[in-house]
Amino acid sequence: MQAMVLEFPAPIGSNPLHLVELPPLLPGPGELMIEISYCGVCHTDLHIVEGELPLARLPLVPGHQVVGRVKELGPRTKRFQVGDRVGLAWFHWACGNCRFCAKGLENLCEQAQFTGYHRDGGYAQMTVAPADFAYRLPENFPDLEAAPLLCAGIIGYRALRLSEIKPGGRLGLYGFGASAHIAIQVARYWNCEVFVFTRSPGHQELARKLGAAWVGQAQDLPPAPLDSAIIFAPAGSLVPEALRVLDKGGVLALAGIYMSQIPSLDYEKHLYYEKTVRSVTASTRRDGEELLRLAAEIPIHTETQVFDLAEANKALQLIKAGKINGAAVLAINP
């Protein structure tokens, strides 16, 4: 099978992913072999490829927003049938036994594994994954539109939950890439007033199209204090900017898996009045199931820009440059 493989991390401008032929896959007990139709391209993939995240293994096939059909079942796999349409997300596996799994926080599992990081992911014609961590996809979403829901959507939804935004509240979104363009649709469905902070004229235009009440840049003052805010961009410099305009008792959620250095904070200016700052770490299967139900109910529309498998480097280069409106998706077996 063909796959885009990372042999050594390097700046994305050097085209570190290479198209290679890999041996056929075999699903193990409880696993599915999936023929991939589309795979979303995520900012986390960029952090992996450029080595900003410590790599668990090399060589590696990145990609964790996988849509495809079950090609083969491993032994004792009962949850799906051959031909079923399924999705895979970042969260690949948890032990189910540690103190975090016991509390329903499987995303914090001490032995957690992640798709396209610990195990080969979706920048390939085929992949293998545990059936218990695969999702059934809503029928009203074509494969192409479903792919961004599996990370951008799920992480955006968990970030909304952890931001504690209430229906009708004022929400700030910092950065307006793949996750934010889905999160705003959920927030508007909850009748929230959404203020978007982004430098890109294209992203500003998309935010207005999707119902933002106000659009500006991080240094601007929004029309009213924010009840909650989410930072999607991996820029630590945005943290004091968001806290500056957060209302008393407000919550700031940091949705990235990686963030540059956060500047020093002034206690009275940024943190006083019971403001909360919290990070978002991966997601649980419950998050994914809830988001997919909600996506079908709203329904969410995902903006996509399509690339061939061999163009994965190009897609990541455009993500780094902030030139993707919505989500980038690789077409593999469309």
Mean pLDDT throughout 37-65? Answer: 96
Give CA–CA dist 230/252, Å, rounded. Answer: 6
pLDDT score at 97: 96
Pick the closest to residue 302 from 327, 322, 332, 329 (CA basis).
327
pTM higher than 0.85: yes
Mean pLDDT computed over 250-273: 95
Q: Cβ distance 234 to 30 under 8 Å?
A: no
pLDDT of residue 334: 86
pLDDT tens readout for residues 174-197: 999 999 999 999 999 999 999 999
What structural domains does the chain harbor? 2-151+282-331 (3.90.180.10), 154-279 (3.40.50.720)
Instruction: Give 172: exposed, middle or buried? Use CB within 10 Å, 0-12, 13-18, 19+.
Output: buried
- What distance in Å separates the CA atoms of residue 140 and residue 260, rounded to the nearest whole number? 38
In which band, very low, low, confident or very high, does the pLDDT at 205 lie, cut at 50, 70 and 90? very high
Here the tokens at position 252 are 């700031």
Q: What is the pLDDT of residues 264-318, one digit of tens each?
A: 999 999 999 999 999 999 999 999 999 999 999 999 999 999 999 999 999 999 9
